[in-house]
Amino acid sequence: MIYNFLYASLLFAYNTALFAINSSIEASPYLNQPSGEYNVGHEEIHLINKNACPNVFFTQKNAKSFSKENTLHCNEIELVVYYPSEDRGSSVYQPIPSLVSDLKEFDGNISQRDIEQVKNIRSYAKKNTTPVKKNDFPVIFFSPGYGLSTQEYENTLTDLASHGYIVIGINSQFINGELSFNPEHIAKVIDPESEEDKKNFFRNTYSDLSYTYEFLKTKEISDPVISMINWKKVGLLGHSLGSAIVARFAYHTGICAVAGLDLTIDLLEGNDCHKDLKAPFLHVFSTQLYHQNNDEEFPYLCKGNRSANYKQVLIVGSLTNPSYSMHMNFCDYSTLQYFPAIHDALSVLEKNNPEAVFLGTGNGLEITKTINNNLLKFYNNYVQLCKLNAD
């Protein structure tokens, strides 16, 4: 990867941008600044999925990973909601513990000074701030990739919220990051030991999305942000495993549009193809994944999927450069890679283990903007203007 050139050029651009950012925000210039008219707030909501009891991964050894009120050890869910806000400000960047853990793995000699700098990263979303008083915001349900939490996609999710979308990210227990449902314990991500474990990741994540959708839609929760949702304008977004989840969930009536980032196979179908989708679908692929899978017929885009609702495929980068964008360019690392301490740790990783590099050689900021601009255009066309009736 050409980190050094990118680092030098983007460091100048980011530092220059600091002067244009209102000092009251104090968010990190190494995260993508939301481009819409609204400020962004975020809140977290805890749900117990009563349709999945007990959690298939429950054992007596991990019993403390469940909240005390969850006596049946059902799936537990952390919802992270980004929304248009009245107030301007920032909060601590939630994935910092995971980020610090990554950096220590990349560079065993990382200094405490660098770690302390990383701990100062702040989000453009202000926690629990006052929502904009409006009762018809469209909603996007987001399903993250395996091992990643919703909060690690703020580059894209806060941008959508700034343009007038409520974005609901669904973190599933043991699948999406390290989650705390019990103050005495952290529920860590489980490594799959079999193909059945992978299928259970799919089943649990799908069940959590389905439960969340129905629970919120039937207004079983009193929340000022959720009350602003226009249920006639619902979109879906997913990355990696999450993209397969939303592709399956798109069979529900009432879904206006779906976007998948580096779509993976539907583990429950037993093959590489997805059935025809009811809603318009935007496939967004990194050059890495597209080139890895693009033989005569791209396996995830089988001929049977080319229905009237099939809309387009976006490749993030040039087809002549397979390394331009990679699977992790869809998360915040795409821009955080230019933070000095993170840049240095990634350089050590690249030197010691080149095959472990997970970001493309392209300009990470431009990659993020390309993703965001195309998602916004797609959702504005098919969610904002959606004519479906809420079921």
Backbone angles phi, psi at 55, to 5 degrees: -55, 135
Contact (CB, 8 A) for 263 and 302: no
Say which residue, 33 or 253, is predicted with more confidence. Answer: 33
CB count within 10 Å of CB 142 equals 26
What's the pLDDT score for residue 1?
Answer: 37
Question: Average pLDDT, whole number, for the chain?
Answer: 87
Q: How far apart are CA 68 and CA 183, in angstroms?
A: 10
pLDDT tens digits, 154-202? 999 999 999 999 999 999 999 998 888 988 788 899 999 998 999 999 9
pLDDT (average), residues 253-259: 91
Look at strands 257-261 and 229-239 and give their pairing: parallel
Higher per-residue confidence, 300 vs 313: 313
Average pLDDT for 263-286? 71
With a cut of 50, say whether residue 2 has pLDDT above it.
Answer: no
Q: What is the pLDDT of residue 155?
A: 98
Closest residue by Cα to residue 7 from 320, 365, 273: 365
Ranges assigned E (strand) in the chain: 39-49, 75-85, 91-92, 122-123, 125-127, 137-143, 166-172, 179-182, 185-187, 229-239, 257-261, 281-286, 310-316
- For the residues 93-122, what does the mean pLDDT come to? 95
Does residue 140 surpass a pLDDT of 70? yes
Share of the chain above pLDDT 70, in %: 84
Please report the DSSP string for 153-192 in residue order.
Answer: GHHHHHHHHHTT-EEEEEEETTTSS-EEEETTEEEPPPPP
In this prediction, residue 300 has a pLDDT band, given cuts at 50, 70 and 90, of: low
Please report the beta strands in 199-337, taking only residues with DSSP state E, as ranges in sequence order. Answer: 229-239, 257-261, 281-286, 310-316
Long-range contacts at 306-313 (CB < 8 A, ≥ 24 apart): 307/276, 307/277, 309/276, 309/277, 309/278, 309/279, 309/280, 309/281, 310/277, 310/281, 311/280, 311/281, 311/282, 311/378, 311/382, 312/282, 312/283, 313/283, 313/284, 313/285
Confidence (pLDDT) at 21: 37
**345: three-class secondary structure by DSSP:** helix
Terminal-to-terminal C-alpha distance of the chain: 48
The CATH fold assigned to 3-384 is Rossmann fold (3.40.50)
3-state helix, strand, coil in the chain (%, to 5): 35, 20, 45
pLDDT value at position 309? 54
Q: Provide the residue ranges of all domains of the chain, joining segments of one domain with +.
A: 3-384
What's the rounded mean pLDDT across residues 8-19? 37
- The reported pLDDT for the residue numbered 269 is 60
Residues 6+ apart with CB under 8 A from 218: none
pLDDT at position 293 over 60: yes
pTM: 0.89
pLDDT band at 273 (very low <50, low <70, confident <90, very high): low
pLDDT (tens digit per residue) in 310-332: 567 788 998 889 999 999 999 99
The mean per-residue pLDDT over the stretch 247-267 comes to: 84
The burial class, CB within 10 Å (0-12 / 13-18 / 19+), for 98 is: middle
> Can you name the residues that pair with 92 across neighbouring β-strands?
122
136, 230 Cβ separation under 8 angstroms: yes
Q: What is the pLDDT of residue 247?
A: 87
- pLDDT at 357 exceeding the cut of 50: yes
**Res 15 pLDDT > 50:** no
In the chain, the percentage of residues whose pLDDT exceeds 90 is 70
